[in-house]
Amino acid sequence: MHLNNGSSWNMRKRRRRASPGRILLLLALIGGLLYFYQFVIPTVPRPFVPVATATRSPLSYVEEAQAFFATGKFERAIEAYEQAIRADPVNMDYYLELARIQIHAGDVEGGLENAENAILINPDSARGHAIRGWALALFPEQGDEAESALVKSLELDPGLAEAHAHYAELLSDQLRWNEAAEQARQALAISPNSLEARLAMAYVFESTGNYDEAIAEYEKAQSINPNVPTIYLSLGNNYRAQGDADNAISLFQKAIALSPENAVPYSLIAQTYGSIGEYGKASQYAEQAMGLDESNPRLHGLLGRMYYHNNELEKSLPELELATRGGLTASGVRVTGLQPGPGIEAEYYYTYGLALVKLERCSEAIPLFELLLATVSEEQDEIAVFNAGEGIRMCNEPDSTAPAPSP
């Protein structure tokens, strides 16, 4: 079959000759495509597939936590150690360092929990039992268990300065001062630059009334870490015991600067102002303390006492009622009342009763005095028994004047 020369399809049609510029352009395009598929496409996340993120090493959190602790930023240090634990949940040391900082910051329950977490990882951790014993010793009813933990720690590692230090503090609380001093000396001999060892020696001196020696040791602890609020609280307490209210208040204010959300330094300033008769200032600080820990009956009792001594009887009654009977605060926070007993608890009861007497409400006051006399003996608290007896006498003799409770 003969093809028509006019056909549009010509097998012998000549190709156009390519120019060098076109070839270079084509090669550039091909190279660009190869680069795109080889290097760009792999970096583009695939739809619906989780993207891997870079994770920090636990050690970086630990270094951060140590820096925060050294500068007194306890909350930040705690957060950093919690991050380290999330990154490495089986590292016992992270739990122990977290527990130590929590106890220094006043979170004793949190510290106890993390010390026990460390012991779960390694039941033979001498340091774990030492820190657990330290935490338990801060609960008065846990003294026996605290001593067992500290003795076990020393059995596991007799050269652990922390264990000797915490045992010294417990023995001081148990009035076993010779043993306490020996444990504190051992702690310092093992580790003279240990914060815990210095604090233990200071506490033994403080417990035995050697306030100058205690202050010297607390100042040495302060030189190891100048940003621990409890050191300033302890220094303030020693100055207050010596009658130096100005120095005491100044030190308590430094503790507030380091830990503004802690109610303790506010309450100590209130007590210090109260001890020198400045009840208006005392009430202001007691109000701040109570506002930071509204469920604490002792803080309500402190505020009620300061109001009473400042002749603000109507304001004192609801605070003293919360301290002794419990109930709900104006903001709806529940307070559990304290049982009568010698010491500060008795003071809340008889101050409440005397405030009621002054407001001519003896029918409410007498049961408080009778309850106090039934539960507290003269040997336990002579002042409480005297004030309760005086309260009953004044109710039976309407012309009597209610005394100011003894501080």
Cβ atoms within 10 Å, residue 96: 26
pLDDT band, very low/low/confident/very high, at 2 (cuts 50, 70, 90): very low
Condensed to tens digits (0 to 9), the pLDDT of residues 251-300 reads 999 999 998 999 999 999 999 999 999 999 999 999 999 999 999 999 99
Amino acid in position 305: R
Are 229 and 261 a contacting pair, CB within 8 Å? no
Better-predicted residue by pLDDT, 382 or 39: 382
Question: Exposed, middle or buried: residue 405 (CB in 10 Å: 0-12, 13-18, 19+)?
Answer: buried
> Which pLDDT does position 3 carry in this prediction?
38
* DSSP code of residue 159: T
> Which pLDDT does position 52 carry in this prediction?
45
Three-class secondary structure of residue 180 per DSSP: helix
Query: What residues pair up with 335 in beta bridges, in sequence order?
Result: 327
The residue length of the chain stands at: 407
> Which pLDDT does position 24 carry in this prediction?
57
Average pLDDT, the chain: 88
118 has a pLDDT exceeding 50: yes
> Which pLDDT does position 106 carry in this prediction?
84
CA distances from 175 to 146, 172, 337, 342 (A): 15, 5, 29, 18
Lookup: tokens for 360 = 């001519």
Question: Rounded to whole angstroms, how far apart are CA atoms 231 and 238?
Answer: 11
Query: What residues pair up with 334 in beta bridges, in sequence order?
Result: 328
Residue with tokens 């336990």: 380
pTM (2 d.p.): 0.79
Amino acid in position 203: Y
Range with the poorest average pLDDT among 1-5, 29-33, 141-145, 315-319:
1-5
User: Backbone phi, then psi, for 153, in 5-degree steps?
Assistant: -60, -45
pLDDT band, very low/low/confident/very high, at 20 (cuts 50, 70, 90): low
| Residues in Cβ contact with 282 at an 8 Å cutoff, skipping those fewer than 6 apart | 269, 270, 271, 272, 273, 274, 306, 309, 310
Condensed to tens digits (0 to 9), the pLDDT of residues 26-79 reads 555 556 555 545 554 454 445 444 544 456 788 888 999 999 988 888 889 999
Condensed to tens digits (0 to 9), the pLDDT of residues 120-148 reads 999 999 999 999 999 999 998 899 999 99
Question: Rounded to whole angstroms, how far apart are CA atoms 191 and 193?
Answer: 5
% of the chain exceeding 90 in pLDDT? 78
Cβ atoms within 10 Å, residue 10: 10
Three-class secondary structure of residue 335 per DSSP: strand
Lookup: tokens for 91 = 């590292």
> Which pLDDT does position 71 carry in this prediction?
86
Alpha helices in 313-381 (DSSP H): 313-324, 344-358, 362-375
> Which pLDDT does position 73 carry in this prediction?
87
pLDDT band, very low/low/confident/very high, at 92 (cuts 50, 70, 90): very high
> Which pLDDT does position 57 carry in this prediction?
85
381 has a pLDDT exceeding 80: yes
Condensed to tens digits (0 to 9), the pLDDT of residues 241-252 reads 999 999 999 999
CA distances from 190 to 67, 165, 206, 218, 234 (A): 25, 10, 22, 18, 24
> Which pLDDT does position 9 carry in this prediction?
28
Helix (H) or strand (E) holding 199: helix 195-207
